[in-house]
Amino acid sequence: MHWYCCVKPMLGGVLWVAAAIALIAAWMASSSDIGLVYGRDELHWYLDAIVLAVLALGCKIHCGRGDGCGMCGTNKE
């Protein structure tokens, strides 16, 4: 397991899922009568979704080497 070719893309996928869950929670909070989902209002859920999505995009950026990871032999083609 190496950071740029193995761990970083998996972390990006986990952050995408977390952003999607936060967005769904924001929609639920905006449509509920109370306005709170797990004690947070829709603005906090929307901001969490945005921050998690931006972090996920950062994890999807590759290291810039065109030959892939020299350690585990993965090629970016």
pLDDT band at 8 (very low <50, low <70, confident <90, very high): confident
Q: Is residue 7 part of a domain?
A: yes
- Could you tell me which of 45, 51, 15, 39 has the C-alpha nearest to residue 27? 45
Residue 51 falls inside a structural domain: yes
Q: Which residue has the tokens 């936060």?
A: 22
9-34 pLDDT, tens per residue? 888 889 999 999 999 989 988 887 77
Is the pTM of the predicted complex or chain greater than 0.75?
Answer: no
Q: Is there a domain that residue 65 lies in? A: no
Range(s) of the domain holding residue 45: 3-60
The tally of domains found in the chain comes to: 1
